[in-house]
Amino acid sequence: MERRVVITGLGLVTPLGVGVDETWSGLCEGRSGIGEITGFDTSAFSTKIAAEVKGFKAEDFLPKKEARRTEKFIAFAVAAARMAVENARLTIDETNGPRVGVITGCGLGGLHSLELTAHTVQEKGPKRVSPFFIPMLIGNMAPGMISIHLGAKGPNISVATACAAGAHAIGDAYHTILRGQADAMITGGVESVITPTCIAGFNAMKALSTRNDDPQQASRPFDRDRDGFVVGEGAGMLILEDLEHALERGATILAEMAGYGQSGDGYHMTSPSPDGDGMIRCMQAAIDSAGITCEAIDYINAHGTSTPLNDLYESRAIKKVFGESASQVPVSSTKSMTGHLLGGAGGIETSSTVLALKNGIIPPTINLENPADECDLDYVPKVARKADLTYAMSNSFGFGGTNASLVVKRYAP
């Protein structure tokens, strides 16, 4: 009999707060986590705003000496993983450590360290480079450090598929348990790249919002006046478990993983296909994987980046997949509040989707004043909505045309 995979724990570090309760309350309140960038001087930049994590202290989750030398994205990942394990009441020790794995997604890794080290080499020479530079740079140190700190010695993998990385990591962790290679997985996404080179690079592409005078209104998915996305940072981690393993230890089950779809656009480096072909096949694959029809989906947590092309093409794709019922399916973008966490997006958005199922509340799409042409779905504008949800889908689409869709369902024994 095929294994069933359930979600038993969540951990969140987001621009809305450190912890699940803080983030969820922010989403339900329709609160924006976007403000002026505080980490560097933005006077020469077109974009001066981002969704930064506030009030995070690495020493709350790592030994003080180690916290000082740990790259921010790694600290976020370890913190969210610790919260998720605690939330799941999962004990990891020598007896089960080899059956607990870690798969996380990250798009860009340690840009903070890269920029500082490049400056050091130029100004002071190569001998002044820290021996911690490479470990702080590479994306796989997120799952690596989670494994070291929590004792999870099963499969240990880092996924780097741009803005789909977190969702791909969760889907791959799901498949790892289905294949019997682990009983539990710590999985999700992380990113922290609010740095000069990142903002300058996305500005050069004209991808970012420049609504600097009104940061909290800047991320406005599906709105006529959207002008680009807002970079966010943070981490979202989930505990996935084999159902029998979870029941045996008396775990509280938050939701069940039901389906996972993947596809590639094969179209353009940064733009989705105008006809939404890759998105369509990805969503349909997730629905098929769950063994349901599109009519069973009660809510879609959209990729919804607040960029002109993504919002339009994703809306077209949803209409193609759901046909006449598309207008009846609530669709919202939590990026309107958290900004876009790039490789970390799938982690916090899948977590948000699980919380929506558990609490019967759909987070809103804030700042949606005037829907754009062809963006005519039910985007749950401005205010959260109570709803009876059984199945929900979360979409993540990345540069290079890499796509992931996850279907989660309300758990029923």
What is the set of active-site residues?
Answer: 163
> Which of 301, 359, 356 is closest to 332 using CA atoms?
301
Task: Read off the tokens for 251.
Answer: 């775990």
User: Kindly report the CA angle at 18 between 13 and 21, in degrees rounded to 5?
Assistant: 105
d(Cα 400, Cα 133) in Å, to the nearest integer? Answer: 28
Task: Read off the tokens for 385.
Answer: 């909505």
3-state secondary structure 295-307: HHEEEEECCCCCC
143 residue type, one letter: P
Output the CA torsion sign for 379, 22, 235, 249. Answer: negative
Q: Is 371 exposed, middle or buried (0-12, 13-18, 19+ CB in 10 A)?
A: middle
The backbone torsions φ and ψ at residue 218, rounded to the nearest 5 degrees and listed phi first, read -75, -40
> Which of 87, 98, 101, 94 is closest to 10 using CA atoms?
87
Residue tagged 């807002």 (tokens): 230
CB count within 10 Å of CB 74 equals 29
User: Kindly report the CA angle at 17 between 394 and 46, in degrees rounded to 5?
Assistant: 80
Confirm if 51 and 230 have CB atoms less than 8 A apart. yes
37 residue type, one letter: I
CB count within 10 Å of CB 54 equals 13
Q: Is 180 exposed, middle or buried (0-12, 13-18, 19+ CB in 10 A)?
A: exposed
Q: Where are the alpha helices (DSSP H) in 129-256?
A: 133-137, 141-150, 165-178, 196-204, 243-248
d(Cα 284, Cα 10) in Å, to the nearest integer? Answer: 27
Terminal CA-CA length for the chain = 15
Residue tagged 């922010």 (tokens): 26
Task: Read off the tokens for 39.
Answer: 């980490």
